[in-house]
Amino acid sequence: MDKGKILIVDDEVSILESLSGILEDEGYQTITARNGIEALEVSGREFPDVTFLDVWMPDMDGLEVLRRLRAQDPDRVIVMISGHGTIASAVKAVKSGAFDFIEKPLNMDEILLSLQKAMEHRSLVMENRRLREIVRRQDAQAQLFLFPKMDPGETEAPVPSPVTTAESRPARSRSLRKGRGLRQKTLRQSMVLYGTGLHSGLKTGLMLLPLPPNSGILFGNIYDEHTVPGKLMYVEETDYATSLRKGRITAKTIEHFMAVLHAYGINNLLVKMNEEIPIMDGSALDFCKIIEEAGIEEQDEELAELVIERRYSLGEIDPDNRYISIEPSDYFGVRYVLNYPPPIGQQEYTFIMRDEAVFKEEIAPARTFGFLKDIKSLTKMGLIEGGRLHNVILLDEGRVMNTTLRFPDEFVRHKILDIIGDFYLFNQPIKGWITANMTGHSDNIALLREIQKEVG
């Protein structure tokens, strides 16, 4: 089976022949060029998936060829090879856009490993290009997604705007009240991000499209216009993650992304993906970066804060019990207590949502974690297929197995990240103080549903 098309550029015939033979034995199709001019011509005609390019060649050196190939197509995936490599030349090659740098004499294991990584990168690059094209076509039509088509046999009307008017909102009890009006926000431009789903293991793109006021947070499939609102009533699962469903549309593992929308005050956004939000590095930092890169646009309409005026609680307040509560406060804050076997132990952290900068510094970097024994069980259940050494803090035998912690108490901070995400499922800011002990998504959602009874 053809694994991909590889261009090899080198002025040494022996290198061309041996490398071509090995890669073809591995199932790749190879094409060759003996100098830079020939490489540019062949590359423009054959469109290789990956190019192995020698640095030192007569007439036109590899770095100049690299620059010209990248000018042809900025997404070219190019691995530089050199028999006279130095740190300086390697750095220069990478800065010029090379994917990797390998020294001669060539080690075939190193070549094949680099090629595998390059092909994976190429796959992500092409997915990103495809998604950007979809964004280009659909950006001007974002309004269409506000009114999803009905599934066959479905009779309910399109989901109304998450922001109801004073006339249509049921009267609230004295346990809740409408607070100050805050300007609604969306993004200034559409954005694309790609990664891997934690539980599905599938490479999944993420398209973010601005929406007009009173639209709310909507999740949709990349391939059609159906959507599910990012609201409490559509929560389907809370085992290991928070997932939504409406009809045939699902949106899985939304909590980290929702936490960022909560912190940055984004109220109106269309999020299109392939069923699951990508896990990225296990934290929310990449989502913060893409929101900041897009820019935030304040809109003319306002949205009132949901102000908690009495205490809601689940579970008995006891250090040995799971419990969570929310009570009146002048701001949104969380105090969480965690008690796990080593290396976690007992951890406690208090976070006050002053602004997005504090969230980005204190909470967003905290990554998903799991014990090796539990991850093996989840894998057997078909979950956490996307868990890799770089996106989950792996724990076993009383120690962290695969990384250096970003904070000594990174674990409890991550639990707060989950709470911040789940508590944005009203699509409006909440003013209240949360206290939690050893709780998870199911507890967060249960408490929200208690509040929902009075929100109407």
Active site residues: 441
Query: Which residue type, as a one-letter code, is found at position 149?
Result: K
Give the span between the Cα atoms of 156 and 149, in whole angstroms.
Answer: 11
Tokens of 126: 């092409």
| Residue 281 β-bridge partners | none
Query: Which residue type, as a one-letter code, is found at position 434?
Result: I
Exposure string of 358-386, with b = 16+ CB inside 10 Å and e = fewer, is ebbebbbbbbbbbbeeebeebeeeebbeb
Give the span between the Cα atoms of 383 and 305, in whole angstroms.
Answer: 36
Give the span between the Cα atoms of 271 and 264, in whole angstroms.
Answer: 16
Number of DSSP helices (H) and strands (E) in the chain, helices first = 11, 24
Helix (H, G, I), strand (E, B) or coil at 42: helix
Query: Which residue type, as a one-letter code, is found at position 355?
Result: D
Tokens of 78: 């190019």
Orientation angle between helical segments 62-72 and 36-46, nearest 10 degrees: 20
Q: What are phi and psi of 286, to 5 degrees?
A: -65, -35
Query: Which residue type, as a one-letter code, is found at position 33?
Result: A
From the list 93, 92, 84, 83, the residue with the least C-alpha distance to 15 is 83
From the list 285, 333, 337, the residue with the least C-alpha distance to 429 is 333
Q: What's the alpha-carbon Rg for the chain, to the nearest Å?
A: 26
Give the span between the Cα atoms of 221 and 227, in whole angstroms.
Answer: 7
Q: What are phi and psi of 416, to 5 degrees?
A: -70, -40
Helix (H, G, I), strand (E, B) or coil at 423: coil
CB distance 282 to 411 below 8 Å: no
Q: Do the bridges between strand 312-314 and strand 296-308 make them parallel or antiparallel, or are there none, so unpaired?
A: unpaired
User: Which residue is associated with the tokens 């900068």?
Assistant: 357
